[in-house]
Amino acid sequence: MRILLVGGGGREHALAWKLRQSAHCDTLYAAPGNAGIAQLAECVPIAPKAISELVAFAQQNAIDLVVVGPESPLIAGLADALHEANIPCFGPSRAAAQLEGSKAFAKHLMAQVNAPTAPFAVFDQPEEAHAYLRERFIQRPCVIKADGEALGKGVFVCETLSDALDAVEFLMVERGLGEAGQRIVIEDRLHGREMSLLCLTDGNTASPMPPVRDYKRALDGDRGPNTGGMGCYTPLPDATPELIQTAMSQIVRPVIAEMARRGTPYQGVLYAGLMVQDEQPYTLEFNCRFGDPETQVLMPLLESDLIELAMATIAEQLHTTPLQFSNRAAVCVVLASGGYPHEYRTGLPIEGLEAASQLPNVQIFHAGTRAEGGRIVTSGGRVLNIVGLGATLADARENAYRAVEQIQFEGMHYRSDIAQSVL
Ligand code: AMP
Ligand code: GLY
């Protein structure tokens, strides 16, 4: 088969690596890819949001399957455009991707099917949001969320009423995140343990992947600013089969059934961001795609053929195609540019990649890298994902950090406490 992978981060390198292992994969293209993906695929300079260019490329190159990494093209309708051109796409339609594209849409849908989530209200007017906060915040701290697509920057977990009022001002009045803040969701703050539950679904059948815990803050001990993710691990000793069962039966399956009932069936990966409070899972958010960096620990453990899974999803035949993972452990450590998530320099040479990649039980997935004059240099905030594998989390962690020690670039920073608290 001829496959086009859309995206160019660590998630997409992990997907490319797994797609390449399939006997069905004859040719792999990536748009736009990165220096790591370039070792597995032919990279073409098309941006993930350039929908008509992607469709034209897929038509001209007789692509049999498009696999979409990031949310933006899905929310903008890439799957629909490919569908119209009769090109199979792994990823939900624009209507189904609303589960990530609009927080208000997702919250209303959860409320409709009684899926546990924090109590909430939706606002189009800043004055009304302010009035609600003045009443509500005294009893319950609130979280302010931009309704629209905000690239992970639209959520404000506020400590004080004044922070919450400022967040409303920033989103709705100053339009600090543009159109995304035209409408906001205010919800009660939950407390507990977070987990990412990624599920594969064809619109009828839904199969959970092993839950993953990711680390969003920049510094050890969950300090510093929020980032796109500084590492993650799986399995989670605290994610019991009963808990996953509850999340599937109370949240994931009712949501998928309702999407189908509305005539907008959800197909692809449905990622539920959960907060477990008093052993009850609540949904914080849905994502319409694989997680980053969750995918970097899931792909090395996935035993099933990813292309067969994608095709079964599109053909609504997931019930005949088991989703199998090994019961080993995986720990991912993200190596970031100095200054990330704020300003950082790029173009810095990376040393030690070769040595690190030769270590046993290690997989390296590139995120922000590019080839320049025969070397690999940094080109983004998150640069590399170092994944250690092992029979236990302790082994996996040791293998990841042993590889991290081999790698060096100017300003490189990473968290040294990924998966530490579980050991
Ligand atoms: P979201 O993009 O909606 O998942 O929000 C990003 C992050 O904000 C989550 O991973 C949580 O850490 C935090 N968060 C979101 N909603 C809540 C909530 N209701 N209570 C506590 N923390 C939250
Ligand atoms: N790891 C968070 C996300 O992919 O959105």
In tens, the pLDDT along 355-411 reads 999 999 999 999 999 999 999 999 999 999 999 999 999 999 999 999 999 999 999
Q: What is the pLDDT of residue 289?
A: 98
pTM: predicted TM-score of the whole model, two decimal places: 0.97
Ligand 1 center to 189 CA (angstroms): 8
Q: How far is the CA of 209 from the centre of ligand 1 (A)?
A: 21
Write the pLDDT tens digit of every residue in 38-66.
999 999 999 999 999 999 999 999 999 99
Nearest ligand to the C-alpha of residue 118?
1
Determine the distance separating the centroid of ligand 1 and the alpha carbon of 171, expressed in angstroms.
Answer: 16
- The CA–CA distances, whole Å, from 198 to 101, 122, 195, 271 equal 17, 26, 10, 4
The whole-number average pLDDT for the span 91-96 is 98
Domains of the chain, each with CATH number or no CATH: 2-93 (3.40.50.20), 125-182 (3.30.1490), 193-320 (3.30.470.20), 329-404 (3.90.600.10)
For 206-261, write each residue's pLDDT tens digit: 999 999 999 999 999 999 998 989 999 999 999 999 999 999 999 999 999 999 99
Q: H or E stretch including 307?
A: helix 306-314
Q: Which phi and psi angles does 193 have, rounded to 5°?
A: -105, 135
Nearest atom within ligand 1 for CA of residue 282 = 19
Percent over 90 (pLDDT), the chain = 97
What number is the average pLDDT over the span 297-319? 98
Question: Is the pLDDT score of 153 beyond 90?
Answer: no
Instruction: Give residue 423's pLDDT band: very low, low, confident or very high (50, 70, 90).
Output: confident
Give residue 17's pLDDT: 98
- In angstroms, the CA 28 to CA 19 distance is 8
Strands (E), 99-229: 120-123, 142-146, 155-157, 184-188, 193-201, 206-208, 213-214, 217-219, 223-226
Question: Per-residue pLDDT averaged across 292-301, rounded?
Answer: 98
Q: Residue 151: which pLDDT band, with cuts at 50, 70 and 90?
A: confident
Q: Specify the pLDDT at position 298.
A: 98
- Asked if residue 179 has pLDDT above 90, the reply is yes
For residues 57 and 5, the answer to whether their CB atoms sit within 8 Å is: no
Residue 289 CA: which ligand is closest? 2
pLDDT single digits (tens) 125-145 = 999 999 999 999 988 899 999
Q: Which of 105, 110, 140, 155 to mutate to test the pocket of ligand 1 (most atoms within 8 A of CB)?
A: 155
Q: What mean pLDDT do residues 293-303 have? A: 98
The pLDDT value given to residue 370: 95
Residue 161 reports pLDDT greater than 90: yes
Q: Mean pLDDT in the chain?
A: 97
Q: Which string of DSSP letters, residue by residue, matches 235-293?
A: --TT--HHHHHHHIIIIIHHHHHHHHHTT----EEEEEEEEEETTEEEEEEEESS--TT
Between the CA of 155 and the centroid of ligand 1 the distance, in Å, is 7
